[in-house]
Structure 1
Amino acid sequence: MTPIAFLDLKAQQARLAPALRARLETVLAHCQFVLGPEVAELEQRLAAYCGAAECVGVSSGTDALQIAMMAEGIGPGDAVFLPAFTYTATAEVPLLLGATPVFVDVDPRSFQIDCASLRARIEAVRRAGRLRPAAIVGVDLFGQPAPWVEVRGIAQAEGMFLLDDCAQSFGASLDGPDRVARKLGREADATAISFFPSKPLGGYGDGGALLTDDPARATLYRSLRTHGEGETRYEVLRIGMNGRLDTLQAAVLLAKLDGFDAELARREAIACAYDAGLAGKLATPVRVAGSTSAWAVYAVLLPDAAARATTQAALREAGVPSAIYYPRPLHHQPAYRDRHDGVSLPVSEDLATRILALPIHPDLTDQEVARVIAAVPG
């Protein structure tokens, strides 16, 4: 039996080959390989797609997080609050800048940051008096939005910078106050996007972007991504970094962006098929109310670690791949546990033992989806 691909970039590339080749050949002809015209075009299209005033292309999602925090002057003595159940980049950036990540628990079914835990963690830091509560990073995990109305209210009440780590969820939407769906990208002071190949809108290498409605922030981001440049290349106004977006990656993303909504629709159809076919076998994802998901990850829950291992073995036998996002919460990672204050985060700790991701990408066929469903024991 032919194994199913967890992520099938070859099939995607074959489907988009003419558009990809045309875009790449244009770059090869003009030879502006760093911050070329395709980068500016991509920035304009991404901003328009999300309804944001500004978009700044950068070299990776991690660099997007770092540039956003550098622009706010976040560093030693600052506390940055972020979920314990997410990818390492969210925590490593504050540490690289000398700040302290403060890990927050998550909701047991949506996997998004838990606002009751967030409030309690902020209050504990204020009582201790060693750190200044400086920023909150909300993560739109697995393709779904964080609880932005509540998180934004907390940030505003506390006078803290709010950053959206939207690495996994570009293309997702959340109802606004008027109950009209709007794409993620404007829920926080700034939004960081990743174009890593496995993301819903992925390049063929690293890449990222920052969205903001604040022109002053956007100007600062452009300076920071290019070694702190001012009006000219050799005017250095501040300490920056090499965070520029390669033109070839922008060209790939432009080719993909043309069919992106169709890919999102296919991901949604697959998720709906899984929801129906797996009901009663295991706990399928709970959808965030008033939202649509980009379905970067379709994560199910098993009763315990033993049941997960049994399910993974059955899937392997049927040629179906699976993955564990994430096998350890961040506060248990060797690099971070000494920076953690020792507070138990029980939901994040429990999820790490039971969560399992099934294949979900726009080139999965209906037959392959049916194979996945049939391979799950129940």
Structure 2
Amino acid sequence: MQFIDLHKQYDRIKEDVQKSMEQVYRHKRFIMGEEVCELESRLQEYTKVKHVITCASGTDALTIPLMAKNLTRKNAVFVPSFTFFASAESITLAGGTPVFVDSEWDTFNMDPVDLEKKILSTQQTTDLEPSGVIAVDLFGLPADHKEICKVADKYNLFVLEDAAQGFGGNIEGKKAASFGNIAATSFFPAKPLGCYGDGGAIFTDDDQLADLIRSIHIHGQGVDKYDNVRIGLNSRLDTMQAVILLAKLKIFDEELERRNEVADLYSQQLEDLLEIPIVPNGYHSSWAQYTVKAENQDQRDTIVKALKSQDIPVMIYYSVPAHKSTAYSKKIKVENDNLRICERLSSTVFSLPMHPYLEKHEITKICDAVKKSIKA
């Protein structure tokens, strides 16, 4: 049993991938080939966003827009602590200062109420200037972008949507990666839409910002290739990864539908045993992960141990929230009760296998193992 089954997926796209790879081998444009431009165009059509710029990783997709904002240490960017480290790391890499925000218990995503509290606290107790928000779509579920943007607009902050896990999700038909002022996604292999290496993309309707990003992601180049007008990065998606993504896009919506079927099967069997993930009305999750909550850390550890003993893969995202990481814990002072939901989540959640190729009997096996471990 696979936590994410890339083998079965490849069997579906193998012929398409091999044929397209042969074309790349023939034209030899391994960097910025025509397939990269085609992918950006397809992503524009999918998200209905005006500009899509591919890059070398999801982390770069977050960092580059922040670099375009010319952040300094005094620029505070608000970010959830219960997320992958890159969401906060990108702020530091771009020169800004992350300020951590608590999560909602039900959705795992940034709490808009706590966001406003953190903005006010930052204004009143620090020398930092509130400048932006990174709203993360965790585990496939889009964040509460309506309320987050309302708070951001009130304090004149930019919003960067981290759709690394949320790509494919939507709110009332509006696609993830189209919220806020700018958005970023990751094509890491484990993501709902993943390549066979690192890759990412940046999305915006802002013409001026798009021009800046196109410059930054290729060494800060100007009109002339060798006229570098700013400091940038070497962050381009290679052509072979674009080929993989183009093939996967053809079956993406079908896979998303199946992911939702898998999630429903899990929920039907687990709802009386554990706290299952919710999808608010009007929201559609891409189910990057199927994440449940145990009653406490001891129960979680018992269940995880039992599943692994039966060769059922299980993961814990994220046992160490960003504010408690070695990189940030000594630099950023956090009052004990300021991120209490985040810390409870870190000690109780675990994720079960999630991919479009899970069979019903496999889901039943997983759920039965969970039931037995709880009863024991």
Of all paired residues, the percent bearing the same amino acid is: 40
* Secondary structure in structure 1 of the residue aligned to 2:159: strand
**CA separation in 1, counterparts of 2:347 and 2:203?**
34
In the alignment, structure 1 residue 56 sits paired with structure 2 residue 48: no
Q: Which of 100, 103, 120 is the matching residue for 1:103?
A: 100
Query: What TM-score do you get using the length of structure 2 for normalisation?
Result: 0.96
In the alignment, structure 1 residue 370 sits paired with structure 2 residue 364: yes
Q: Name the residue aligned to 1:89.
A: 86
Q: Name the residue aligned to 1:272.
A: 264
2:358 aligned partner, one-letter code: L
Q: Name the residue aligned to 1:17.
A: 14
Q: Name the residue aligned to 1:226.
A: 218
CA contact (8 A) 1:100 1:339 kept: no
Q: Which of 245, 253, 260 is the matching residue for 1:261?
A: 253
Q: CA deviation at 1:370?
A: 1.7
Between the two proteins, the alignment pairs up a number of residues equal to 370
**CA separation in 1, counterparts of 2:280 and 2:63?**
28
CA contact (8 A) 2:291 2:350 kept: yes
In the alignment, structure 1 residue 306 sits paired with structure 2 residue 298: yes
Q: CA deviation at 1:12?
A: 1.2
**CA separation in 1, counterparts of 2:129 and 2:235?**
28
* Secondary structure in structure 2 of the residue aligned to 1:308: helix
Q: How does 1:65-84 map to 2 (within 5 A)?
A: 65-84=62-81
Q: How does 1:1-378 map to 2 (within 5 A)?
A: 4-175=1-172, 181-344=173-336, 345-377=339-371, 378=374
**CA separation in 1, counterparts of 2:26 and 2:358?**
34
**CA separation in 2, counterparts of 1:330 and 1:146?**
18
CA RMSD, Structure 1 to Structure 2 (Å)? 1.0
Q: CA deviation at 1:343?
A: 2.3
1:363 aligned partner, one-letter code: Y
- Which whole-Å deviations, capped at 9, do the CAs of 1:126-181 have from their partners, x for residues lacking one? 11241111110000000001000010111111111110000001110102xxxxx2
* Secondary structure in structure 2 of the residue aligned to 1:294: coil
Q: CA deviation at 1:289?
A: 2.8
1:340 aligned partner, one-letter code: I
CA contact (8 A) 1:82 1:91 kept: yes
**CA separation in 2, counterparts of 1:371 and 1:15?**
25
2:350 aligned partner, one-letter code: L
**CA separation in 2, counterparts of 1:316 and 1:341?**
37
- Which whole-Å deviations, capped at 9, do the CAs of 1:166-214 have from their partners, x for residues lacking one? 0001110102xxxxx2211221100001000000000000000001111
2:366 aligned partner, one-letter code: V
Structure 1 residues not aligned, in runs of 5+: 176-180
**CA separation in 2, counterparts of 1:342 and 1:79?**
15
More displaced, 162-171 or 72-81?
72-81
* Secondary structure in structure 2 of the residue aligned to 1:376: helix
Q: CA deviation at 1:319?
A: 2.3
- Which whole-Å deviations, capped at 9, do the CAs of 1:195-240 have from their partners, x for residues lacking one? 0000000000000000111111111111100000111210111111
* Secondary structure in structure 1 of the residue aligned to 2:164: coil
* Secondary structure in structure 2 of the residue aligned to 1:373: helix
Q: CA deviation at 1:356?
A: 0.5
**CA separation in 2, counterparts of 1:351 and 1:363?**
28
**CA separation in 1, counterparts of 2:139 and 2:72?**
28
CA contact (8 A) 1:75 1:99 kept: yes
* Secondary structure in structure 2 of the residue aligned to 1:206: coil
1:279 aligned partner, one-letter code: E
**CA separation in 1, counterparts of 2:89 and 2:218?**
21
- Which whole-Å deviations, capped at 9, do the CAs of 1:239-258 have from their partners, x for residues lacking one? 11111111111110001000
1:8 aligned partner, one-letter code: D
- Which whole-Å deviations, capped at 9, do the CAs of 1:26-75 have from their partners, x for residues lacking one? 11111111111111100010011011111000111100111010111122
Q: CA deviation at 1:25?
A: 1.4
2:150 aligned partner, one-letter code: G
* Secondary structure in structure 1 of the residue aligned to 2:160: strand
2:249 aligned partner, one-letter code: L
CA contact (8 A) 1:103 1:340 kept: no
**CA separation in 2, counterparts of 1:157 and 1:285?**
30
CA contact (8 A) 1:192 1:208 kept: yes
Query: What TM-score do you get using the length of structure 1 for normalisation?
Result: 0.96
More displaced, 90-99 or 158-167?
90-99
2:166 aligned partner, one-letter code: S
**CA separation in 2, counterparts of 1:182 and 1:163?**
16
Structure 2 residues not aligned, in runs of 5+: none
